[in-house]
Structure 1
Amino acid sequence: MSDAKVEAAPKAKKNILLFAVIGLLVVLLIIVGGVAAFLLTKSSDPAADEVAAEATAREDVKKKKKKGKKEEHAAIFEKLPQFTVNLHSEEGDGILQTDISVEIADAQVAEKIKGQMPKIQGQVNKLLRSKTISEVKAVDGTDKLGKEIRELINKILHAESEEEGVISVNFTTFIVQ
């Protein structure tokens, strides 16, 4: 019986030693795998990492602005003075009289519009005078004219994106004679 106890003790030590070696190998494999994954995913060019991080940050800011404007934006309208211009065509001369209200992004844009009103009036007058009677009477003519006026005013206001400056142009009266 004493021989059996003597043989069992070395077997238990061998099992513990075997488990310890296997555990150590597993830990080493995990560490080596983690280091390898880190090195493979890390870019070799730090400047590229910075550019990618800046681009991601800019996109996040734009998304937040878009979300904020859509959620918080209550319609703000600014009425422009009435425009009366002469129109020319092959059939004869005519007159266009229109009232325009522009939907704007925020109250700051309203202040910019008021500050630039003489310039806006002059440019819109010029644009309206350049049109013919057939152009403004066409169904899609007013849509096209509204888009041109929007682009013109946004150019004067130095608006950079679709959500800045003038959002839409609305003709409240539109009389062609």
Structure 2
Amino acid sequence: MSDAKVEAAPKAKKNILLFAVIGLLVVLLIIVGGVAAFLLTKSSDPAADEVAAEATAQDDVKKKKKDKKKKEEHPAVYEKLPQFTVNLSSDEGDGILQTDISVELGDPLVAEKIKAQMPKIQAQVNKLLRSKTIAEVKAVDGTDKLAKEIRELMNKILHAESEDEGVVSVNFTTFIVQ
């Protein structure tokens, strides 16, 4: 029985030693890999860094010119939304807002996206309009703020990433508050 205890002790020490060696090798490999990655990504020539930065800047300028040219290639595209008639709330009583909205699009292809998302757009714009009070929509800058909110809402629904994508502007063709 004492022989079994004597043999188990060296096996346990060997297993611990084996795990320690493997762990140490893994740590060393990670450190060596990190140093190698750093050295490979770091340029040793400062002139090469300047050339790369200049090339990137030139590419950005070319891309901006291309985007501007692309914008100029097509005339303004407008999409008319269905007429909205909503109840407004105020301290003086309830009011009604009736409006027609046309949106200017950054790309003709966005019109198809709007048509595909029209029920969702209508529901969200309707909800936004209902949340307004008579005083808010009658204010001098009220329609500008409302147009900005509608634009942001629609671009969020359309997943537009930049200012030039999706809805560029919101235009109220009729705006009646009673």
Deviations 1:154-176 (A, max 9, x none): 11111122211111111111111
Structure 1 CA distance for aligned equivalents of residues 92 and 45 of structure 2: 69
Q: Supply the AA of the counterpart residue of 2:103.
A: V
* Structure 2 match to 1:128: 129
* Residues 5-84 of structure 1 aligned to structure 2 (within 5 Å): 43-44=45-46, 50=52, 53-69=55-71, 71-84=72-85
Secondary structure at the aligned position of 1:110 is classed as helix
**Shift of residue 64 of structure 1?**
1.6
User: Any gaps of 5 or more consecutive residues in structure 1?
Assistant: 1-41
Q: Supply the AA of the counterpart residue of 1:62.
A: K
* Residues 140-159 of structure 1 aligned to structure 2 (within 5 Å): 140-159=141-160
Secondary structure at the aligned position of 1:139 is classed as coil
**Shift of residue 118 of structure 1?**
1.0
Structure 2 CA distance for aligned equivalents of residues 58 and 140 of structure 1: 36
TM-score (ref. length: structure 1): 0.69
Structure 2 CA distance for aligned equivalents of residues 149 and 55 of structure 1: 35
Are the equivalent residues in 2 in contact too, given 1:73–1:105 (CA < 8 A)?
no
Structure 2 CA distance for aligned equivalents of residues 92 and 49 of structure 1: 67
Are the equivalent residues in 2 in contact too, given 1:154–1:165 (CA < 8 A)?
yes
* Residues 110-125 of structure 1 aligned to structure 2 (within 5 Å): 110-125=111-126
* Structure 2 match to 1:109: 110
Structure 2 CA distance for aligned equivalents of residues 122 and 45 of structure 1: 57
Structure 1 CA distance for aligned equivalents of residues 49 and 115 of structure 2: 44
Say what the alpha-carbon RMSD is for the aligned residues: 2.1
Deviations 1:27-83 (A, max 9, x none): xxxxxxxxxxxxxxx9438577546534541342122212331x2231211010111
Distance 1:135 1:53, change over 3 A: same
Q: Structure 1 stretches (4+) deviating beyond 4 angstroms? A: 45-52
Q: Share of identical aligned residues, percent? A: 73
Q: Supply the AA of the counterpart residue of 1:53.
A: A
Secondary structure at the aligned position of 2:62 is classed as helix
User: Any gaps of 5 or more consecutive residues in structure 2?
Assistant: 1-43
Asked if 1:96 is matched to 2:97, the reply is: yes
Return the index of the structure with the highest Cα Rg: 1
Worse overlay, 52-61 or 133-142:
52-61
Structure 2 CA distance for aligned equivalents of residues 43 and 129 of structure 1: 62
TM-score (ref. length: structure 2): 0.68
